[in-house]
Amino acid sequence: MGMSRRDFMRITLASASMMALPHTARAASLPTNVKKEALPMAFTLPPLPYDKSALEPHISAQTLEFHHGKHHQAYVTKTNELVAGTPLEGKPLEDVIVAAWNDKNQVLFNNAAQVWNHTFFWSCMSPNGGGKPTGKLAQQIEKDFGSYEKFAEAFKQAGVTQFGSGWAWLVADASGKLSVTKTPNAELPMVTGNTAILTCDVWEHAYYLDYQNRRPDFLTTFLEKVVNWEFAAENYDNLAAQQAA
Ligand code: ZN
């Protein structure tokens, strides 16, 4: 498949802009006499919120090196290629995901949704992770699952029984009620009207180097050692704030 000079220029421009600041900051820093449309905003790989060795020994630097540096980067690169020159170029990631889902554009959906899923997943883990949720989220987990232990069991079960690649989720519906779901491949809660509160990536690339085929052990370690309940609680509080607004 040949690449026209125009395509090449577009990709070069996107790559050059990816070297710059995160796209929100870049847009704000443009001189006021430059139309924003003059520079289509390419998606960029967000940095990990911690050092790549910070989750050791539970998740190795090597796993994060590949998972973030290769897999996540590839989804970003592919999404930029697929939206270049289309009406979706420069649109927010969420808009691209929903449009691709509605248009049954499977290739674009898979890549764009995986950009979102991985960005979300990195924040679902923390070097100071583990423990149990607190505050409003903790109360709602008690209410909707009966106990934290029952939630943990349901979440692990979702991850273990997701056949092939996919994700385990804690989601909230519009009323704030929590449930555990699993999705195949790149699918994510926003396309079914739910809000993601927490996720665990159960694609083999997430755990194979550290756990080989022992997905249940990976899920147990995720919940006991690295899960970031602070982030999940913020997601739940933000949902409540949006509903109140
Ligand atoms: Zn992944």
Q: Which residues contact 222 (CB under 8 A, 6 or more apart)?
A: 58, 125, 200
Top pLDDT among 128 and 24 is at 128
CA 204 to centroid of ligand 1, rounded, Å: 8
38 forms beta bridges with: none
Centre of ligand 1 to C-alpha 205, Å, is: 6
| Distance from residue 162's CA to the centre of ligand 1 (Å) | 14
The Cα 189–Cα 113 span in angstroms is 10
Ligand 1 centre from 122 Cα, in Å? 10
Domain 135-244 is in which class? alpha beta
Which residues does 119 contact at the CB level (< 8 Å), separation at least 6? Answer: 46, 72
Q: Give the pLDDT mean for 87-97.
A: 96
Q: What spacing in Å lies between the alpha carbon of 201 and ligand 1's midpoint?
A: 6
Phi, psi of 78 (to 5 degrees): -65, -40
Contact 140, 148 (CB under 8 A): no
Residue 64: predicted pLDDT: 98
Tell me how far the alpha carbon of residue 142 lies from the centroid of ligand 1, in angstroms.
Answer: 29
> Ligand 1 mean position to 4 CA, how many Å?
32
Distance 179 CA to ligand 1 centre (A): 22
Q: Secondary structure of the chain in the HEC alphabet? A: CCCCHHHHHHHHHHHHHHCCCCHHHHHHHCCCCCCHHHCCCCCCCCCCCCCCCCCCCCCCHHHHHHHHHHHHHHHHHHHHHHHCCCCCCCCCHHHHHHHHHHCCCHHHHHHHHHHHHHHHHHHCECCCCCCCCCHHHHHHHHHHHCCHHHHHHHHHHHHHHCCCCEEEEEEECCCCCEEEEEEECCCCHHHHCCEEEEEEECCHHHCHHHHCCCHHHHHHHHHHHHECHHHHHHHHHHHHHHHHC
At 34, list the tokens.
């430059």
Given the candidates 3.40.50.10420, 2.60.40.10, 1.20.120.1750, 1.10.287.990, the CATH classification of the domain at 61-123 is 1.10.287.990
Rounded to the nearest angstrom, the distance between the alpha carbon of 35 and the centre of ligand 1 is: 36
Distance (angstroms) between ligand 1 centre and the Cα of 209 equals: 13
pLDDT at residue 23 is higher than 60: no
Which of 1 and 129 is assigned the larger pLDDT? 129
CA of 200 to the centre of ligand 1 (A): 9
Gap between the Cα atoms of 232 and 134, Å rounded? 10
pLDDT at 115 over 70: yes
The CA 29 to ligand 1 mean position distance, Å, reads 32
Spacing, Cα 118 to ligand 1 middle (Å):
6
Picking from 128, 122, 129, 145, the residue whose alpha carbon sits closest to that of residue 46 is: 122
Nearest one of 145, 122, 115 to 133, comparing CA atoms: 145
Q: What is the dihedral of CA 137, 138, 144, 149, to 10 degrees?
A: 140
Domain boundaries, the chain: 61-123, 135-244
**47 Cα–ligand 1 center, Å:** 15
What separation in Å is there between the alpha carbon of 67 and the centre of ligand 1?
Answer: 6
pLDDT tens column, 37-74: 555 679 999 999 999 999 999 999 999 999 999 999 99
% residues pLDDT > 70 (the chain) = 84
CA of 203 to the centre of ligand 1 (A): 6
